[in-house]
Amino acid sequence: MAKKLSSVLGIDIGSHSIKVAEVKTSGNSATVTAIGVVATPEGAVDYSGVYNSDEVGKALAEVLKASGASSTSAVVTIAGQQSVLVRVIPVPRMDVDKELQSHMEWEISKNIPFAETTIQSDYKVVEGGDPNSAEMDVVMAMAPQSAIDTIVDCIKKAGKKPYAIDVEPLGLARSMKSSYPQWAGENGVCIVDIGHSTTSINIYDQGNLVLPRPVPGGGEMVTRAIADAKQIGIQEAEDYKVGRFAISEEVAANQGFGNPFGNATQAFDGGFAVDAYSAADPVSNATASMSPMDELAIDPITGLPIDQPAESTAPTYANDPFSSSPAPEPAFVSDNLMMPVAAHSSDEDFGAVQGILEDLVGELQRSIDYYASRGGNVSRVVLCGGGSKLRGLSGYLSRSLNTPVEMYDAFNGLGFASKKVGMDYLNEHRQELAVAIGNGLHIAY
């Protein structure tokens, strides 16, 4: 990052699709000059990370060519359970220049959750906060070297240069600052990115990320549920979901939530001010396979590995409000956030996906309640990602959570000047491009 760029490619590699957005800046304004979305090669990426950089690089090259993007440098998201951990941690207030480095080296060394011990890491003090408090928040990010090498390899095989490696919550924060600057002064803005196989729940205060959680589950689960209920193929079910399925305006989630998605979740903390990772020394073009990661019990709040008794076969959390263990009352649940709801919809299609949607509500409610237990209050919930395009979803979540829910538009406040695609294409993929655009805005902030 020796020089400031005026144009860059923002890239978001997901398990279902690869999204690209070219962003050019001039003065204080930013314009999206190219966009593209292409299907991710089958088996190349899953919720854990990228596994086949050859196929991903080839698909990325194709979508960049089709989009008409001309920038040579790229900012790409690194994501996945085995690929990255980002946390905001409180540390004793100390001299940033003289003491913080040695303290953070210790924090990073004790918090590595990966089987691979060769990592890349970075940290930065989160801006804002009470200067008189005994602690300050620091964003800490780490990723296995193999995951970094793999994601860089994807960019190089697409014929581009890696400018920086970023993480999803920071890209969304950057997008929010550009498209909704008024939210940067609010507390409790919850941006929910519903992807194909993972949903990221991110709560921001004053533009700073304070509670991020990726949870397993996304649009794929809805498609498969429809396919099973109607005894049709996956593609036919996807077409039905996109073209005909809608959630009734009368239904909301049942009160009380069971075990959302049935799996432990990993905390995904990150702060707004950090510049994430910059591309450093050149790495080999040879494909870097990701090291297998031992199965870990990860505390969904702290993001730390949790020791388990030898005889245990499931993660146990001493103070985890998101635990799947049965309890008389869910921890931190606020009665005033719940409302009377309908138990089911008269639409027979809704019955096929009701449990999945209620699990999503459960994950959101647990995040909101935990944030409230720490003195916060969610003022709005905003949806993005391909899974958010399910018709009627925002209203369903709003009724279920008794909180305003709206759709996020990453193009709000930005210019659009693509030579290859028009507004119809933009509107078709508007919800999917938030992270890619946020990555492209890396050069603006």
Q: Is residue 77 part of a domain?
A: yes
Q: Where are the beta strands (DSSP E) in 273-423?
A: 277-278, 380-384, 405-407, 415-416
pLDDT for the residue numbered 257: 47
Q: Is residue 1 part of a domain?
A: no
Q: Is residue 74 part of a domain?
A: yes
Query: Distances from the Cα of 283 to the Cαs of 3, 51, 287, in angstroms?
Result: 20, 17, 10
Q: Is residue 135 part of a domain?
A: yes
Q: Which pair of tokens denotes residue 304?
A: 């730390």
pLDDT for the residue numbered 336: 35
- pLDDT tens-digit readout, 214-243: 888 899 999 999 999 999 999 999 999 999
Say how many CA atoms lie within 13 Å of 305 toward its Cβ: 15
Query: Distances from the Cα of 111 to the Cαs of 59, 81, 277, 405, in angstroms?
Result: 35, 15, 18, 35
Query: What number is the average pLDDT over the span 180-196?
Result: 92
Distance CA 118, CA 417 (A): 42
Q: Is residue 423 part of a domain?
A: yes
Is the pLDDT at 137 greater than 60? The verdict is yes
As a whole-number percent, the residues of the chain with pLDDT over 90 amount to 50
Q: Which pair of tokens denotes residue 114?
A: 């990966």
The answer to whether 414 and 178 have CB atoms below 8 angstroms apart is yes
Q: Which pair of tokens denotes residue 367?
A: 């995040």
pLDDT for the residue numbered 27: 82
Q: Is residue 83 part of a domain?
A: yes
Please compute Rg for the chain using Cα positions: 21
Reported as a pLDDT band with limits 50, 70 and 90, residue 358 is very high
Q: Is residue 84 part of a domain?
A: yes
- pLDDT tens-digit readout, 287-335: 232 222 233 333 333 343 333 333 333 332 222 333 333 333 333 333 3
Is the pLDDT at 33 greater than 60? The verdict is yes
Q: Which pair of tokens denotes residue 189?
A: 């803005």
Q: Where are the beta strands (DSSP E) in 348-429?
A: 380-384, 405-407, 415-416
Domains: count for the chain: 1
Reported as a pLDDT band with limits 50, 70 and 90, residue 182 is very high
- pLDDT tens-digit readout, 343-352: 333 367 899 9
Name the most confidently modeled range: 73-77, 145-149, 281-285.
73-77
Greater model confidence, 76 or 85: 76
Least confident residue range of 41-50, 282-291, 338-347: 282-291
pLDDT for the residue numbered 393: 96
Is the pLDDT at 384 greater than 50? The verdict is yes
pLDDT for the residue numbered 436: 97
Query: Distances from the Cα of 305 to the Cαs of 97, 296, 299, in angstroms?
Result: 30, 6, 6
The answer to whether 192 and 364 have CB atoms below 8 angstroms apart is yes
In 3D, which of 440, 432, 444 has the Cα closest to residue 166? 440
Reported as a pLDDT band with limits 50, 70 and 90, residue 173 is very high
Is the pLDDT at 116 greater than 60? The verdict is yes
Reported as a pLDDT band with limits 50, 70 and 90, residue 253 is confident
Distance CA 336, CA 262 (A): 26
The answer to whether 161 and 74 have CB atoms below 8 angstroms apart is yes
Q: Which pair of tokens denotes residue 240?
A: 């039905």
Distance CA 194, CA 192 (A): 6
pLDDT for the residue numbered 340: 36
Reported as a pLDDT band with limits 50, 70 and 90, residue 377 is very high
pLDDT for the residue numbered 265: 40
* Structural domain boundaries, residue 370: 7-443
Measured between alpha carbons, how far apart are the two ends of the chain, in Å?
13
